[in-house]
Amino acid sequence: MALIKVNDLTLSYENITVTEKLNFMVESGDYLCIVGENGSGKSTLVKALLSLKKPEKGTIEFGEGLKKNEIGYLPQQTSAQKSFPASVYEVVISGCLNSRGIRPFYSAKERKTALDNMEKLGISELKNRSYRELSGGQQQRVLLARALCATKKLLLLDEPVTGLDPIITAEFYELIAKINSEGITIIMVTHDISAATAYANRILCMREDRYFFGKNKEFKNSDFADLAGRKFAKGGENGD
Amino acid sequence: MTEILTDIFSTPVLVRALIVGILVSLCAALLGVSLVLKRFSMIGDGLSHVGFGALAVATVMNIAPMAVAIPVVIAAAFLLLRLSSNGKIKGDAAIALISTGALGIGVMAVSLSDGVNVDINSYLFGSIISVSRSDVVISIILALIVLFMFVFFYTKIFAITFDESFAKATGGAVSAYNMMIALLTAITIVIGMRLMGSMLISSLIIFPALCSMRVFKSFLSVTISSAVVSVITFIVGMMISYAFDAPCGASIVCVNIAAFAGFFAVGKIVNK
């Protein structure tokens, strides 16, 4: 059984159907990119995968012992967060909350998990710095470390490079690829088609009327890549 | 200074006000950190106006004021939370709507009633002598509940304040905790309102948190600093109020303004 299996999924947003009869699956170790224009239902799909939204029709099945609350989620940043007084350590360790139920304080094991993940992402020296004083790229690493505290299996990243400069963006993609190579499954929602085709092994491309799901190679040869490429080229983001 | 303190401690009414005030300041400051960071500061303000309306109506109808005010303010807190989260009426407009509405009803109730001698002024701007013995008992119990809940749920409150969508995605009962915070805020406001006045009570929620955020950089240090600032400004404010025979709520707000100026300056220097 796959890690996630989506069957005939129909989703709606404010009573308007945004996605119909969507079928795809995520295997353990996959790197899936979800691409598509604004309004194609990407955000609604993310909510459904996180069990924050009920499907109109169809099902989302979790396999291989993946629990609903064991998805490491990297949400888009809010403006309030940018000026939030919190130390890096406080933010990272809050990722451990899903596994602890009602107990009020963190255990030694959870503190170690937090420190290990900070080490892994190269932000150990930022431990006591304030989140609001960090650069955009550092903030994303902190949120990524928090997401890793919440999961051992699956990361779900929602437009993670928004607002980052090209060098930091490239570094961030390398980091995700490294995490993926260490056995954590990645689902990334992105506008960046060139990054999707460079890193992902599977692609889900959503359009208003239809969608593509398959291997990266198949996607490159399909008319979806063409359409998407032209669309994005017009926006001036990705020229190829 | 010690003279003022001895005077205060030898007057039972003032001792009661001091106890209630310190407990309320503490609770308000702790909740305030979360409310301010979640951009919910105005909810505190809105609730205090609702509290005024409820108190006024209860007095006119000759019912125990706290018994009416607490449930009404709690209901208003849930309503405001719902309105600001589902967005049919935008949060700030909803708060203005409810707070001016409640204020209007309260003033009408008082002015239409004959033969009831109500001092609106003391409801609006607070009065030390209005703190009764039963208020003290209720305050102590409620304050202990607020403090216990805050400490026990501290890690969750942090997670939800920092990032609601992440907390939700990892299975946190976000709306339950939001309701808990609204509930505790409502209770704190009702207890503090008699002393501080309904116009000024929300200063206890907002000032300490804003002061602390100028200087401190982690959630824990901001929280602790807020609690300390809140209690100190309350005590200093009350002493000034006693020494100059000034209204208690207004004195405390003025001390808070001074504290904010101080923290602002320190923040500028430290963060250079």
∠ CA B135-B197-B187 to the nearest 5 degrees?
50
Looking at the structure of chain B, the number of domains it has is 1
Tell me what the mean pLDDT of segment A150-161 comes to.
90
Contact at 8 Å (CB) between B21 and B238? yes
Contact at 8 Å (CB) between A86 and A131? yes
Phi first, then psi, for residue B6 (nearest 5°) are -65, -40
For residue A93, pLDDT beyond 50: yes
Torsional sign, CA A144, A146, A152, A156 = negative
Confidence (pLDDT) at A226:
63
pLDDT in tens, B149-194: 888 999 999 999 999 888 888 877 888 888 888 888 998 898 888 8
Query: A76 and A148 share a domain?
Result: yes
When scoring A83, A94, A106 by the number of chain B Cβ atoms within 10 A, the one with the most, hence best to mutate, is A94
Query: A37 and A90 share a domain?
Result: no
Contact at 8 Å (CB) between A1 and A38? no
pLDDT in tens, A22-36: 889 898 889 999 988
Which of A129, A152, A175 terminates a domain? The answer is A152
Alpha-carbon gap, residue A75 to A43, rounded angstroms: 10
Which of A134, A152, A170 terminates a domain? The answer is A152
Check if A149 contacts B (Cβ < 8 Å).
Answer: no
When scoring A53, A89, A90 by the number of chain B Cβ atoms within 10 A, the one with the most, hence best to mutate, is A90
Q: Min CA distance, B71 vs chain A (Å)? A: 27
Query: A84 and A55 share a domain?
Result: no
Tell me what the mean pLDDT of segment A204-231 comes to.
74
For residue A84, pLDDT beyond 60: yes
Alpha-carbon gap, residue A134 to A114, rounded angstroms: 18
- For chain A, the farthest-separated pair of C-alpha atoms sits apart, in whole angstroms, at 53
A vs B: CB pairs below 8 A: 84
Contact at 8 Å (CB) between B4 and B239? yes
Least trusted range by pLDDT, from A86-90, A209-213, B68-72, B246-250: A209-213
Structure-model confidence comparison of residues B87 and A192, the more confident one: A192
Query: A62 and A77 share a domain?
Result: no
B217 to A94: CB separation less than 8 angstroms, yes or no:
no
Confidence (pLDDT) at B89:
57
When scoring B170, B211, B225 by the number of chain A Cβ atoms within 10 A, the one with the most, hence best to mutate, is B170
Q: Min CA distance, A218 vs chain B (Å)? A: 32
Going through chain A in order, the beta strands assigned E by DSSP cover 4-13, 16-26, 31-36, 57-62, 71-74, 154-158, 185-189, 202-206, 211-215
Residue A108 domain-assigned (yes or no):
yes
Alpha-carbon gap, residue B157 to B147, rounded angstroms: 13
Prediction ipTM score = 0.84
CB < 8 Å to B162, chain A: 81, 84, 86, 91, 94
Q: How confident is the model at residue A238 (pLDDT cuts 50, 70, 90)?
A: very low
Residue A161 domain-assigned (yes or no):
no
Residue A7: its H or E element:
strand A4-13
Query: A58 and A88 share a domain?
Result: no
Please state, for a pLDDT cut of 90, what percent of chain A lies above it: 29
Query: A49 and A90 share a domain?
Result: no
A87 to B153: CB separation less than 8 angstroms, yes or no:
no
> Could you say which residues of chain B have pLDDT below 70?
85-91, 114-118
**SS3 of chain A: helix, strand, coil, percent, to 5:** 40, 25, 35
**CATH code of B194's domain:** 1.10.3470.10
Q: How confident is the model at residue A228 (pLDDT cuts 50, 70, 90)?
A: low
**CATH code of A214's domain:** 3.40.50.300
Query: A80 and A121 share a domain?
Result: yes
* Range of the structural domain that residue A40 is part of: 1-66+187-240
Most confident range (mean pLDDT) of A51-55, A99-103, A230-234 is A51-55
* Range of the structural domain that residue B85 is part of: 2-270
Confidence (pLDDT) at A229:
53
Check if B154 contacts A (Cβ < 8 Å).
Answer: yes
Q: How confident is the model at residue A130 (pLDDT cuts 50, 70, 90)?
A: very high
Residue A105 domain-assigned (yes or no):
yes
- For chain B, the farthest-separated pair of C-alpha atoms sits apart, in whole angstroms, at 61
Residue A196 domain-assigned (yes or no):
yes
Q: How confident is the model at residue A102 (pLDDT cuts 50, 70, 90)?
A: confident
Query: A53 and A73 share a domain?
Result: no
Check if B173 contacts A (Cβ < 8 Å).
Answer: no
Contact at 8 Å (CB) between A11 and A18? yes
Looking at the structure of chain A, the number of domains it has is 2
Residue A173 domain-assigned (yes or no):
no
